């Protein structure tokens, strides 16, 4: 067993012990550890805090929700292992990170320029495609509770960046595990480097990678703008999250407590999705105001060139994410008036 796995297994055993002694002392609150990799001051960070506030209130002392931001407990890959082993109970990984769990269809959300608007996205996540994806997690010992938004990604680099040709030959950090993101970077004739989120700042600073992609909120709160000279408002892809829990833990909770947490999750979801756009707008304004990254708005011709370079990824990745899911996204977009 790897050291990381061993230490997660050890914490899981400890956690199981705590659950047992918790059951013996009925008045002890049930502890929900919610681990995530971003800063508290982001849409996901704020959503997690809102869930803590509402969950503890509705469960009236029966639950204690501990939020661990910024990869404090685990990095991306480890947190999924930790959830399955029961060392933590709740996570909200980006939809790009479910491939290694064996549910590669989540990567439909990574397809470049697939979602013409937030309304299309919401219709997809709340419709059959979104629900079906969450159901697929159950065989992995996981229950999917909700989808949370972050926002649209922009590319950044240490070399001037306007059109898709400018990234040629560069090493670009992507989220670990997503084959769609790898294909997207290759479509730009660049080199994809999967890497944990917590390692990105240093990798950019030391030149291990030349650039990356993320919504402004993640870029600003991780200070990536301090180590990236250029960014282009490509808005080429989406980062959103699935809030997930350990199935055994969730189903083992007293029904009234679970109902309280479900209510809290429904309200925290509305809250997180409401703050996401403004958070990203504010972060972009702050990046521009810092004067550290030159933020470029591509012209219409350049935007067409980005699309032309990246859209072939849809066909290329059809076998991975499923033709049906891609067609469903296109159908929803068409029904909502997008061509």
**Least distance in angstroms from the C-beta of 37 to ligand LMR:** 5
Q: Does the footprint of ligand LMR cover residue 37 (CB under 6 A)?
A: yes
Q: Can you tell me which of 84, 214, 234, 280 binds ligand LMR, judged by CB under 6 A?
A: 214
Figure out which of the listed residues 48, 137, 239, 245 binds ligand LMR, where binding follows CB under 6 A. Answer: 239
What are the CA-CA distances from residue 75 to residues 70, 84, 109, 197, 241 (Å)? 9, 14, 21, 7, 16
- Binding residues among 181-210 for ligand LMR as defined by CB under 6 A: 197
Site string for ligand LMR, 264-303 (x = CB under 6 A): ----------------------------------------
163 vs 216 by CB, closer to ligand LMR: 216
Are 248 and 143 in contact, with CB atoms under 8 Å apart? no
Binding ligand LMR (rule: CB under 6 A), the pick from 94, 170, 273, 280 is 94
CB of 272 to ligand LMR, least distance (A): 12
Report if residue 35 touches ligand LMR, rule: CB under 6 A: no
b/e for 141-167, b at 16 or more Cβ within 10 A?
ebbbbbbbbbbbbbbbbbeebebbebb
58 vs 271, beta carbon nearer ligand LMR: 271
**What distance lies between CA 176 and its chain's CA centroid?**
11
Minimum CB–partner distance for residue 97 and ligand LMR (Å): 6
Among 35, 71, 150, 170, binds ligand LMR (CB under 6 A): 150
The verdict on 218 binding ligand LMR (CB under 6 A) reads yes
Q: Between 46 and 85, how does the x/- string for binding to ligand LMR read (CB under 6 A)?
A: ----------------------------------------
Question: Least CB distance from residue 22 to ligand LMR, whole Å?
Answer: 30
3-state class of 84 per DSSP? Answer: helix
Residue 20 Cβ vs ligand LMR, minimum distance, rounded to whole Å: 32
- Give the C-alpha separation, 52 to 57, whole Å: 8
Within the chain, where are the H helices? 3-24, 43-58, 76-85, 118-126, 128-136, 179-187, 200-206, 216-221, 247-252, 255-290, 300-310, 312-316, 318-321, 323-335
**Residue whose CB is less far from ligand LMR, 125 or 175:** 175
Residue (of 314, 52, 94, 102) closest to 197 by Cα position:
94
How many residues form the binding site for ligand LMR (CB under 6 A)? 9
Nearest approach, Cβ of 280 to ligand LMR (angstroms)?
11
For residue 35, the surrounding DSSP H or E stretch is: strand 30-35
Task: Supply the DSSP string of 131-179, one letter for each residue.
Answer: HHHHHHTGGGTEEEEEEEEEEE-EEEESS--SSGGGGTT-EEEE-TT-H
* Rounded-to-integer distance, Cα 72 and Cα 74, Å: 6
- Tell me how far, at minimum, the Cβ of 219 lies from ligand LMR, in Å: 9
Q: Does 109 bind ligand LMR (CB under 6 A)?
A: no
Distances (CA, A) of 333 to 117, 262, 317, 328: 8, 30, 19, 9
H-run or E-run covering 63: strand 63-68
CB of 150 to ligand LMR, least distance (A): 6
148 makes contact with ligand LMR (CB under 6 A): no
Q: How far is the CB of 79 from ligand LMR (least distance, A)?
A: 10
Interacting residues toward ligand LMR by CB under 6 A: 37-38, 94, 150, 175, 197, 214, 218, 239
């Amino acid at each position: 067993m790897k050291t990381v796995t061993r230490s997660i297994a050890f914490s899981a055993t400890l956690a199981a012990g705590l659950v047992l002694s918790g059951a013996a002392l009925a008045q002890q609150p049930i502890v929900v550890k919610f681990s995530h990799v971003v800063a508290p001051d982001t849409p996901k960070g704020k959503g997690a805090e809102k869930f803590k506030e509402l969950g503890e209130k509705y469960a009236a002392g029966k639950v204690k929700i501990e939020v661990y931001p910024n990869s404090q407990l685990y990095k991306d890959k480890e947190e999924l292992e930790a959830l399955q082993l029961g060392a933590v109970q709740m996570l909200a990984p980006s939809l790009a990170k479910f491939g290694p769990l064996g549910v590669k269809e989540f990567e439909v959300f990574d397809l470049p320029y697939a979602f013409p608007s937030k309304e299309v996205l919401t219709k997809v996540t709340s419709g059959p495609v979104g629900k079906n994806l969450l159901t697929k997690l159950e065989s992995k010992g996981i229950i999917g509770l909700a989808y949370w938004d972050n926002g649209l990604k922009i590319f950044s680099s240490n070399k001037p960046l306007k059109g898709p040709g400018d990234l040629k030959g560069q090493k670009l950090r992507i989220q670990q595990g997503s084959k769609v993101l790898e294909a997207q970077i290759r479509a730009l004739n660049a080199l994809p480097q999967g890497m944990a989120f917590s390692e990105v700042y240093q990798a950019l600073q030391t030149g291990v990678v030349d650039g990356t992609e993320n919504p402004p909120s993640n870029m600003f709160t991780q200070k990536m703008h301090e180590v990236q000279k250029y960014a282009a408002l490509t808005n080429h892809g989406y980062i959103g999250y699935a809030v997930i829990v350990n199935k055994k833990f969730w189903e083992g909770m007293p029904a009234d407590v679970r109902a309280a947490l479900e209510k809290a999750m429904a309200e925290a979801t509305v809250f997180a999705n409401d703050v996401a756009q403004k958070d990203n707008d504010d972060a972009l304004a702050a990046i521009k105001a810092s004067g550290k990254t030159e933020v470029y708005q591509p012209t219409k011709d350049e935007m067409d060139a980005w699309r032309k370079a990246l859209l072939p990824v849809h066909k290329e990745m059809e076998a991975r994410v499923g033709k049906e899911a891609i067609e469903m996204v296109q159908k929803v977009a068409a029904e909502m008036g997008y061509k």
